[in-house]
């Protein structure tokens, strides 16, 4: 942890960081409400309490750098600039979602902003991050890939494999372990023999750093230094961001593994209220401006919900879209969409057995002209 507070950035940047953290907080709160109202399905993992790790790290990057994250990634999409409306629409399973309603909460994606995805498999994103960095290296760009994952992921085989390979091949990956003290409901000291996570990469040739993940300024300071090292020295760095998740692992978490007192202690270090207080104290903001930032975030979230509600569900006919890329040089012959007549009844996603051969045979009927290879019906 930093002994003295890191210096603030200029006022405009400081306000932007606060506004983005506030947006993430308000977005997550509203997402939780929408989940409780059954507007959102599946699992919902909120990052409330971890906003400084998200904003401090991503703001230390260039826009051309890549970000890849986990199943707790609404904030990573938002900080990268994906409109809250599209993130909320994804939670609602609508066509305007940032993954077209295909991914849901755990699988956000925005290629245009180089947000390379949220991934539902713990540790599954580390190899992909190294692959992205490999492409940067091979194509001789100076991009950095920020790969965030939780303390629980540091026990997966991919952690050791990927850190070793990234160090061995000098790949520009900035690994950030967001240590929120729990792998789901298992406390750090109960899941990792080494709890000083910044040291977990040492034997793999990856130097470690640590930041106070409850302080956006310190997080930014450390990540900026780490990103510069990665970019200039062409070698990976592992940063441990020490933080705490205020809410349960997911919405379905009775939180029997920790005490209310422990949560309350961490909440005293709330990254948004402490940063707000500092900005007030140093005269960067006044109370009116602070209220304005919050009001703006709430208005954005209101508009996002309204947008998501109005966005249509994906059409049943789109069920088979994008299973394959159909415009490759090898023509035709892929699984294709079902017949237009097929999706009847109240479960349009249910497979009808006798369609399977139809899809396969239809695939064979694809022409040799390289044109539109799909036909509706049979």
Partner 1 sequence: MALMRYRDALRQALAEELRRDQRVMLMGEDIGVFGGAFKVTDGLLEEFGERRIRDTPISENTIVGMGVGAAMTGLRPVVELMTINFSLLAFDQIVNHAAHIHYMFAGQATVPLVIRMPQGAGHQLGPTHSHCLEALFLHIPGLLVAVPATAADAKGLLKSAIRDENPVVFIEHEALYGVRGEVPEDPEHLVHFGAARIAREGSDVTIVGISRMALTAEQAAETLAGEHGVQAEVIDPRTLRPLDLQSILESVRKTNRCVIVEEGWPHGGVGANLAALITEQAFDHLDAPIRRVTGADVPMPYSKPLEDIAYPHPADVVSAALAVLEGAPAAGAGRR
Q: Point out which residues bind partner 1 (CB under 8 A).
A: 66, 68, 97, 99-103, 107, 109-111, 116-117, 119-121, 124, 126-136, 138-139, 157-158, 161-162, 164-165, 168-169, 321-325, 327-335, 353-354, 356-357, 360-361, 363-365
Report the alpha-carbon distance of residue 376 to residue 98 in Å, rounded.
27
Q: Smallest distance, Å, CB 2 to partner 1?
A: 33
- In the bound state with partner 1, the residue whose beta carbon lies nearer, of 168 and 310, is 168
- In the bound state with partner 1, the residue whose beta carbon lies nearer, of 128 and 304, is 128
Q: Smallest distance, Å, CB 8 to partner 1?
A: 35
- In the bound state with partner 1, the residue whose beta carbon lies nearer, of 106 and 222, is 106
Q: Smallest distance, Å, CB 95 to partner 1?
A: 9
Q: Smallest distance, Å, CB 314 to partner 1?
A: 9
**For residue 181, which of 116, 91, 72, 257 has the smallest C-alpha distance?**
257
- In the bound state with partner 1, the residue whose beta carbon lies nearer, of 139 and 341, is 139
Q: Smallest distance, Å, CB 118 to partner 1?
A: 10
Q: Smallest distance, Å, CB 232 to partner 1?
A: 20
Query: Contact 231/172 with Cβ under 8 angstroms?
Result: yes
- In the bound state with partner 1, the residue whose beta carbon lies nearer, of 30 and 45, is 45
Q: Smallest distance, Å, CB 214 to partner 1?
A: 30
What does the H/E/C string look like for the chain? CCCCCCCCCCHHHHHHHHHHHHHHHHHHHHHHHHHHCCCCCCCCCCCCCCHHHHHHHHCCCCCCCEEECCCCCHHHHHHHCCCHHHHHHHHCCCCCCCCCCCCCCCCCCEHHHCECCCCCCCCCHHHHHHHHHHHHHHCCCCCCEEEEEEHHHHHCHHHHHHHHHHHHCCCCEEEEEEECCEECCEEHHHHCCCCCHHHCCHHHCCCEEEEECCCHHHHHHHHHHHHHHHHHHCCCEEEEEECCCCCCCCCCCCCCCCCHHHHHHHHCCCHHHHHHHHHHHCCCCCHHHHHHHHHHHHHHHHHHHHHHHHCCCCCHHHCCCCCCCCCCCCCCCCCCCCCCCCCCCCCCCCCCCCHHHHHHHHHHCCCCCCCCCCCCCC
- In the bound state with partner 1, the residue whose beta carbon lies nearer, of 288 and 369, is 369
- In the bound state with partner 1, the residue whose beta carbon lies nearer, of 131 and 185, is 131
Report the alpha-carbon distance of residue 161 to residue 290 in Å, rounded.
45
The tokens describing 212, both together, are 């106070």
Q: Smallest distance, Å, CB 145 to partner 1?
A: 8
- In the bound state with partner 1, the residue whose beta carbon lies nearer, of 17 and 119, is 119
- In the bound state with partner 1, the residue whose beta carbon lies nearer, of 5 and 367, is 367
Query: Contact 211/221 with Cβ under 8 angstroms?
Result: yes
Q: Smallest distance, Å, CB 334 to partner 1?
A: 5
């Amino acid at each position: 942890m930093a002994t003295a507070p890191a210096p603030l950035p200029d006022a405009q940047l400081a306000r932007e960081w606060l506004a983005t953290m506030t947006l993430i907080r308000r977005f997550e709160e509203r997402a939780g409400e929408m989940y409780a109202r059954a507007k959102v399905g599946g699992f919902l993992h909120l990052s409330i309490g971890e906003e400084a790790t998200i904003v401090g790290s991503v703001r230390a990057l260039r826009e051309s750098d890549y970000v890849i994250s986990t199943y707790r990634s609404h904030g990573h999409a938002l900080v990268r600039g994906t409109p809250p409306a599209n993130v909320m629409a994804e939670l609602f399973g609508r066509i305007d979602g940032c993954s077209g309603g295909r991914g849901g909460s755990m699988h956000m994606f925005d290629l245009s902003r180089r947000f390379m995805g949220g991934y539902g498999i713990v540790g599954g994103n580390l190899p992909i991050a190294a692959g992205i960095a490999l492409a940067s290296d091979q194509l001789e760009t100076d991009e950095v890939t920020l790969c965030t994952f939780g303390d629980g992921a540091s026990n997966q085989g991919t952690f050791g494999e990927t850190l070793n390979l990234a160090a061995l091949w000098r790949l520009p990956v900035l690994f950030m372990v967001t240590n929120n003290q729990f792998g789901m409901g298992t406390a750090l000291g109960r899941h990792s023999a080494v709890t000083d996570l910044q040291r977990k990469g040492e034997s793999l040739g990856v130097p470690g750093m640590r930041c106070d993940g409850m302080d956006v300024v310190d997080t930014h300071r450390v990540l900026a230094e780490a990103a510069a090292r990665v970019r200039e020295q062409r070698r990976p760095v592992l940063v441990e961001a020490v933080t705490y998740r205020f809410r349960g692992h997911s919405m379905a978490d009775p939180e029997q593994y920790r005490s209310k007192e422990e949560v309350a202690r961490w909440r005293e270090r709330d990254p948004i209220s402490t940063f707000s207080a500092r900005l007030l104290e140093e005269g960067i903001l006044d109370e009116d401006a602070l209220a304005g930032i919050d009001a703006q975030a709430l208005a954005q979230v209101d508009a996002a919900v309204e947008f998501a509600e109005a966005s249509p569900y994906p059409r049943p006919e789109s069920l088979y879209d994008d299973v394959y890329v159909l415009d490759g040089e090898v023509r035709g012959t892929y699984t294709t969409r079902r017949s237009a007549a097929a999706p009847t009844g109240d479960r349009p996603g249910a497979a009808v057995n006798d369609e399977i051969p139809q899809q396969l045979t239809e695939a064979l009927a694809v022409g040799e002209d390289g044109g539109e290879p799909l036909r509706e019906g049979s």
